């Protein structure tokens, strides 16, 4: 097979990928110091809550281009240049471009399924290129001097790098595994550059379709998000469905609260509150929600110290804005009457937020039916 392979030339696609990663790092301001979490989220890091809550499926691709700092980028660039550069020159350009797209999506999709931590970087793509090079060399029977670039000789290095990630804190091993499996699978079908390009063109078309479908899925699903998850226990023997993937953050005899686990301007929270017994205007939904937010719930918004709360009620719905020293959040609430005390679902979200979440959660609230007299 060696006579059919030629790794001479300039790996333009690999250069383009590295330049794109560098441009994103410069745009995010990460050249002179590491990016903090808000900056990482703003510039496209993978955050499962934002994908599930807002339909931001574009993060499944953008996270691969973003790096925390220059050193982070340098490590990934070294692997992509030395392994990906050789593979790009050996196979058809359409195959290599399809590999980059599929490994980017495979990396972050596996990461989103296996871990809810924030992750970023092209290391999953680097593992994908390594896996593809090993599979391509084995499948095409590469021998001779090119075995150092393609084939089973790569596997010990690949396993050593993967094991190093398993033993390191803060490494997205789910993403590494996703990129590796995707790359190895695609590498079995990649064709040398000298072969006809029909199969490679079909694989590139499939990759483009997967990328467009991923982006479109988020756009179409966004109006119905956040999706509600399984039933959770609430106060006073009530139950409620909280958004999928959210974590319990506070609980008490009269309330239970969940958040999406993020901080700052990306934090969202929801609370099911059982108000004290009341009569007349004291039971008005706006008054119940205002008292709860001003007394305690504002702390869940993570917008600094409390400054101002503006609320308005219309047809059983409460809408408004909570202003803090570090930002603002949208307040949405819906109330249900239970005997002489109302139940309130209070949702705090970064603007614009979901217009229907509080109502959908309120519709899912249930409580034990009193025993009927015999």
**CA-to-CA distance for 266 and 277, rounded, in angstroms?**
34
Chain centroid, CA 27 distance in Å: 21
Cβ atoms within 10 Å, residue 270: 28
**CA-to-CA distance for 227 and 103, rounded, in angstroms?**
27
**CA-to-CA distance for 317 and 313, rounded, in angstroms?**
6
Task: For residue 240, give both structure tokens.
Answer: 């409620």
The torsion region of residue 295 among left (phi > 0), alpha (psi -120 to 50) and beta comes to alpha
- Pseudo-torsion of CA 141, 144, 147, 153, nearest 10°? 90
The torsion region of residue 177 among left (phi > 0), alpha (psi -120 to 50) and beta comes to alpha
Nearest by Cα to 106 from 243, 198, 206, 224: 206
Q: First CA to last CA across the chain, in angstroms? A: 86
Q: Before 196, cis peptide (omega within 30)?
A: no
- Show the CA angle centred on residue 293, arms to residues 291 and 294, nearest 5°: 65
- Which residues belong to the active site? 123, 176
E strand or H helix that includes residue 270: strand 269-274
């Amino acid at each position: 097979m060696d006579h059919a392979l030629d790794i001479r030339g300039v790996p333009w696609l690999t250069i383009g990928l590295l330049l794109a990663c560098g441009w994103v790092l410069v745009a995010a301001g990460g050249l002179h110091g590491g990016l903090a979490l808000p900056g990482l989220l703003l510039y496209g890091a993978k955050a499962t809550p934002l994908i599930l809550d807002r339909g931001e499926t574009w993060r499944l691709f953008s996270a691969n281009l973003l790096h925390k700092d220059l050193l982070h980028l340098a490590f990934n660039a070294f692997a992509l240049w030395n392994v990906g550069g050789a593979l790009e020159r050996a196979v058809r350009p359409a195959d290599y471009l399809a590999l980059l797209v599929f490994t980017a999506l495979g990396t972050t999709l596996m990461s989103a399924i296996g871990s809810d931590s924030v992750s970023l970087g092209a290391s999953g793509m680097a593992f994908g290129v390594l896996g593809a090079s090993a599979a391509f060399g084995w499948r095409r029977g590469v021998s001779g001097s090119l075995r150092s670039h393609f084939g089973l000789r790569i596997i010990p290095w690949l396993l050593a790098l993967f094991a190093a990630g398993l033993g390191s804190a803060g490494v997205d091993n789910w993403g590494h595994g996703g990129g590796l499996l995707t790359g190895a699978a695609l590498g079995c079908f990649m064709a040398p550059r000298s072969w006809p390009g029909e199969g490679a063109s079909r694989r590139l078309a499939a990759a483009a379709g997967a990328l467009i479908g991923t982006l479109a899925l988020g756009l179409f699903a966004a109006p119905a998000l956040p999706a509600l998850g399984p039933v959770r226990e609430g106060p006073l023997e009530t139950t409620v469905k909280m958004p999928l993937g959210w974590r319990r953050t506070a609980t008490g005899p009269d309330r239970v609260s969940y958040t999406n686990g993020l901080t700052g301007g990306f934090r969202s929270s929801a609370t099911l509150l059982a108000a004290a017994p009341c009569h007349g205007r004291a039971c008005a939904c706006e008054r119940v929600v205002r008292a709860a937010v001003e007394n305690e719930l504002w702390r869940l918004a993570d917008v600094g110290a409390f400054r101002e709360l503006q609320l308005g009620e219309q047809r059983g719905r409460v809408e408004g804005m909570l202003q803090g020293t570090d930002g603002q959040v949208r307040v949405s609430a819906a109330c249900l009457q239970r005997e002489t005390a109302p139940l309130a679902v209070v949702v705090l979200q970064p603007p614009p937020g979901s217009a229907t979440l509080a109502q959908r959660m309120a519709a899912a609230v249930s409580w034990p039916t009193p025993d009927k007299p015999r």
